Amino acid sequence: MSDMNTLAALRARLSPAQLAKLQERLSGAGKPAAGAASAQTISRRASGGAAELSFSQQRQWFLWQLDPDSAAYHLSGGLRLSGRLDAEALRASLEALIARHPSLRTIFRQEQDGSLRQLVQAPPSVGLPCQTLSAGELEKEIRRICSQPFDLASGPLLRAALFRLGEDEHQLVVVMHHIVSDGYSTQLILDELAQRYAARVQGRVLQLPEPPIEYGDYAAWQRNLLAGAEGDRQLAWWRNLLGEQQPALNLQTARPRQAEGAYGAARHAVQLPFELVAALRRQGQNHGATFFTALLTAFQALLFRYSGQTDIRVGVPVANRHHAETAGLVGFFVNTQVLPARLDAKLPLQRLLEQTRDNALGAQAHQDLPLDWLVEAMQVERSLTGNPLFQVMFNHLRLDHGSLAQWPGLAVERIDFDEQNVQSELSLTTYESSDGKVMASFSYAPELFDAAYIEGMAEHYLVLLQALAGKPEQTLSDIELLSEAQQARLAQWGNNRKHHDGEEPVHRLFEKQAENQPASCALLFGDASLSYGELNARANRLAHHLIELGVRPENKVGVALERSFEMVVSLLAILKAGGAYVPLDPEYPAERLRYMVEDSGIGLLLTHSQLLPQFRHDGVTALAVDQLNLDEQPAHNPATALHGENLAYVIYTSGSTGRPKGAANRHRSLYNRLAWMQQAYRLTPADTVLQKTPFSFDVSVWEFFWPLMIGARLVIAAPGEHREPARLRELICRHQVTTLHFVPSMLQAFLAHEGVTDCRSLTRIVCSGEALPAEAQHGVFKLLPQAALYNLYGPTEAAIDVTHWTCRADGGSQVPIGQPISQTKTYVLDGELNLVPAGVAGELYLGGIGLARGYLERSALTAERFAADPFDPLGGRLYRTGDLVRWNGEGQLEYLGRLDHQVKIRGLRIELGEIEAQLLAQPELREAVVVAREGAAGTRLVAYVSSQAGASCEASQIRERLAKLLPDYMVPSAIVVLETLPLNANGKIDRKALPEPEQQQASQYEAPQDGAEAALAALWAELLGMDSIGRNDNFFQLGGHSLLAVQLTARIQRDMQFELSVKDVFRHPVLAEMARHIGAQCGKSNEQALADLDSFIDSLENV
């Protein structure tokens, strides 16, 4: 067990000031409650026989009920025996050992009232047959023995096997269930087994004293202690230490967490250099701390740097053998304590070491309080995914192999088998051997974490240990975690240095196409078309007119037009005149448009005669382009001098203040973006691009100008058609469109439309604007297999898109956003602008040629969002996106969500995108979005969904399915089914327009409706001590917990003759849902019974 049992030695090394501080921190730890001293003596029970379970055993029973086939709580090990073995002496020694220790002969029973008892059985006759196996057969057999489930109700809970590998080579394998043993007990068993074997082969009689108590005596003493004042005192201390909020550690995983948290096990181990171990010991002594404390300190610092969370909780097992009566007793005494750490980026390592030391000392003074008692008392949100107070564990073990030398005539080596299942998704165990060597072993769930991620974590743990040993005054953020090789790898992934020659403003590239192919079709709108020559001439005439009106480089010109030829002509004309266009969507509210006109400082506005009344603003000249007579204007290209740094366009995006902000983008940025797109996707004059994105959304910029600079055709969707899948399909088929863009929400709506498979001309589908669900990607591959799908990412502040990914059918649950485009840098940084390791979440920062100048007339906001690049010695800039991302194992960026949209429900941090992905994986659903709603009962999750064409959707069924896929705290409390989700003008889901879910008054009582509900309600009321139970009540919200869930299943079996599993209680905690589940299962059972009866009658007829 952990090295936390040296309280006296630790206190002896503390200075008087440290002792005074510690006494203050312990809040009365040195003043046990009256009568506590006498309670420390553990005596035998007055009556033998069946005993209650200890709280730790109670938890083990619950976990076994939850998953009887799991090997997560099997204690497995063995001995390699070289030399002449007396197999009968070994068998007899094992038999005598089991006879001496009642725990190894104990089984567990649940009474009809749901109460639990442990019973010690008579000493059994132990057989130990010896099998002869090859090395390959041995490995397979050991794996089978270690993973074979135990039956806690019938036993035995220890199994042993002996294998012969050669004449003088044997292997003994012993497996126990944790409910009767622990790591300390294992050492006791090994020591006693060596003594007994030696005595037998040497013909001696071994006299060992009888244990002073049995484990059942300890369980009774524990319950008596905790029911009194001492239990209250220790609980008060833990409450004060942990506080009211119990945050969950949310390490990023390569794959989604599973609903029930049952995982396999994998390991990665590293050896600590001898010099490092010595330095850590010295550093610990300098601060009155143990070696264990130093190792834990570095682990807490590691978790902080990997999660960014400032409140870290780690589960730490302690031997809990501080009572003399338990010293030589085999049994499950180990307790897991929750050690918190409050951290921040500026906290020095030595302060964290002192904090950890104080918490560890205090925890030792209050170690009698079992973890499950604490969990119940704190009333934390329970989940099937693991312990609610911590998600990772740390353990420090001293390896004692002294008894291995006591086997006469044998060379004995201890064997520790790898775990079959993990108890927590990540744990670190440090092993300290008698020769001073220390190994750190990371045990993890391979279903969640990639091996490379854990290997990197282990490397960074060593870095933090080195820092603690050598420079403890360093703050947590000042420690450089990444090696030079790791930094170089991130730079290789995140810095695209490719340069595109021939930089020119995009309208000049269009002019070249107009010169080379004037008769080729440039634009299609409805039944009309414009050739390149015609389009260029019209744009030129308007440009000359704008120049006459005073438009020059850096002048901003507003455009308020619906999609039409006039819109494209106006945009080209403004650029040709040297100006920068400012799109003003006529569909926007009048107040928003008024603000944008004033904020942008435009003096000239191009619009349509029908829209003129909307755009009468003081100081702004509005021109109706449909009424202009430009026949007298020249048709040749204006010779306006432009520089790459000149302004090209200003697009407004929503602002956190409620006022939109204008992002000002340059010609150089736009050219780089379009040149990269052409190099990547190779558009040709034979292609046709559909322009359907509202021009106030920056995706429209490439839709307009990419095809025109290449000589392709541009089909313009009529106003409103971008929202109509049927019209889009018609346009695609009519004009043989090859290339188009979708916001993922609209892509899903389009794929759900009948006849989408007719769009066989499509060869390129570009997605951006939202996270692309894997289900939408799968839909494209299934329905439009001829089309390549590209997922792009980029904010308006960085010239449309900055990263790219070519989608593939790899079965992944997340679609990456890829790597940076040409002349673009991407950094994933923590809050202190440190590079984070691959796989770790951080904020995405962008650098390079694509960055906007900043925000119009918002110098403070520009300075906040566009910061100096700390990695660029030449003084470049970085744009802070506010987006949470990570590098995956392939060196591709994955989008995780918005930093300002992180959701916490009852202290648990939740990624809404994960829930949305599971909803979108349901076959009947087309769209899904999850939001957090505040209400009188706190924050709750609400899902909004729409169904596929022709499909029906039952919210209750969706919730039941989600409960099988997600932790219970991630299942939305309400699912609202809509015909379609509301979209904003840019085609994204409009979260503000989502309706409020129907209010369900928890206080309104609704009586049980049928016999099953009434019977269940009576059982609930009996268990929970309540007068009445409503059909919409939740078992756990009424005070139910894991033990009561176990008792509930027993009483349901007794009174309703139905075997409900504990897992079912968690899956169906609402009374009506539980009754419905029981009814459905009983129906299946009745049908089977009738089928069996029919078969029996048939057999009689055939006699």
What are the tens digits of pLDDT across the range 405-453? 889 999 999 988 877 777 789 999 999 998 889 999 999 999 999 999 9
- Candidate from 258-267, 328-337, 863-872, 942-951 with smallest mean pLDDT: 258-267
Least confident of 730-734, 737-741, 831-835, 1090-1094: 1090-1094
Q: Average of pLDDT values for 116-144? A: 92
User: In this predicted model, which residue has the larger pLDDT, 1072 or 39?
Assistant: 1072
Give the E-state strand segments of 857-907 in sequence order. 866-868, 877-887, 893-898, 903-905
Q: Provide Rg for the chain, Cα atoms.
A: 35
pLDDT by residue (tens digit) across 65-112? 988 998 889 999 999 999 999 999 999 999 999 999 999 999 999 988
pLDDT tens-digit map of 635-652? 999 999 999 999 999 999
Hey, do 506-820 and 905-993 end up sharing a CATH topology, with the first three levels equal?
Answer: no
Inform me whether the pLDDT recorded for 265 exceeds 70: yes
Decide which of 286 and 38 is more confident.
Answer: 286
Residue 243 DSSP SS3: coil
- Over residues 161-192, the pLDDT tens digits come to 999 998 899 999 999 999 999 989 999 999 99
DSSP-assigned letters across all residues of 180-241 = G--HHHHHHHHHHHHHHHHHHHTTPPP--PPPSS-HHHHHHHHHHHHTSHHHHHHHHHHHHH
* Most confident of the following: 347-361, 392-406, 984-998: 347-361
Spatial CB neighbours of 1096, under 8 Å, sequence gap ≥ 6: none
- Tell me the mean pLDDT in the region 258-283: 91
| Class of CATH domain 506-820 | alpha beta
**Residue 39: predicted pLDDT:** 52
Range 196-202 average pLDDT? 95
Over residues 957-994, the pLDDT tens digits come to 888 888 766 656 578 878 899 989 998 766 778 887 89
Q: Decide which of 1084 and 347 is more confident.
A: 347
Whether residue 716 is predicted with pLDDT greater than 60 in this model: the reply is: yes
Token pair recorded at residue 118:
């442990």
Average pLDDT over residues 901-908: 50
Q: In whole numbers, what is the pLDDT of the chain averaged over residues?
A: 88
**pLDDT tens for each residue of 535-551:** 999 999 999 999 999 99
Mean pLDDT, rounded, for 660-671: 94
Residue 30 banded pLDDT, cuts 50, 70, 90: very low
In this prediction, residue 750 has a pLDDT band, given cuts at 50, 70 and 90, of confident
Integer angstrom CA distances of residue 440 from 379, 428, 463, 1036: 34, 7, 13, 39
The residue with greater pLDDT, 931 or 356, is: 356
Q: What is the pLDDT of residue 1044?
A: 78
Flag whether pLDDT at 740 surpasses 50: yes
For residue 25, what pLDDT is reported?
45
Four-residue CA torsion sign, 429, 430, 435, 437 = positive
Which one has a higher pLDDT value, 147 or 724?
A: 147
Query: What are the residue ranges spanned by the domains of the chain?
Result: 7-34+245-401+417-488, 55-217, 506-820, 905-993, 1011-1093
| The pLDDT of residue 846 is above 90 | yes
pLDDT in tens, 806-839: 999 888 889 999 999 999 999 999 999 999 999 9
Residue 551 has a pLDDT of: 96
- Percent of the chain at pLDDT above 90? 63
pLDDT given for residue 233 in this prediction = 94
Q: Which of the given ranges, 564-568, 986-990, 1069-1073, has the highest pLDDT on average?
A: 564-568
Rounded to an integer, what distance in angstroms lies between the CA atom of residue 541 and that of residue 85? 104
Helix H or strand E segment including 1098: helix 1071-1101
Q: Does domain 905-993 have CATH number 1.25.40.10?
A: no
Got the DSSP string for 295-319?
Answer: HHHHHHHHHHHHH--SEEEEEEEE-
Give the pLDDT band of residue 404 (cuts 50, 70, 90).
confident
DSSP secondary structure, 320-359, as one string: ---SGGGTT--S---EEEEEEEE--TT-BHHHHHHHHHHH
With cut-offs at 50, 70 and 90, classify the pLDDT of residue 619. confident
For the domain 55-217, what is the CATH superfamily, name and number? Chloramphenicol acetyltransferase-like domain (3.30.559.10)
Q: Is residue 157 scored above 90 in pLDDT?
A: yes
Are the beta carbons of 933 and 997 closer than 8 angstroms?
Answer: yes
Residue 449 tokens, joined? 């974490």
Class of domain 1011-1093 as given by CATH: mainly alpha
What's the confidence (pLDDT) of residue 785?
A: 95
Q: DSSP 3-state assignment of 948?
A: coil
Res 658: pLDDT = 46
**Is domain 7-34+245-401+417-488 in CATH 3.20.20.70, yes or no?**
no
Cα(737)–Cα(691) distance, rounded to whole angstroms? 10
Task: Identify the residue with better confidence: 1043 or 522.
Answer: 522
- C-alpha distances in angstroms, 868 versus 842, 846, 865, 878, 916? 18, 11, 10, 6, 36
Mind listing the pLDDT tens digit for each residue in 597-612? 999 999 999 999 999 9
**pLDDT at residue 214 in the model:** 94
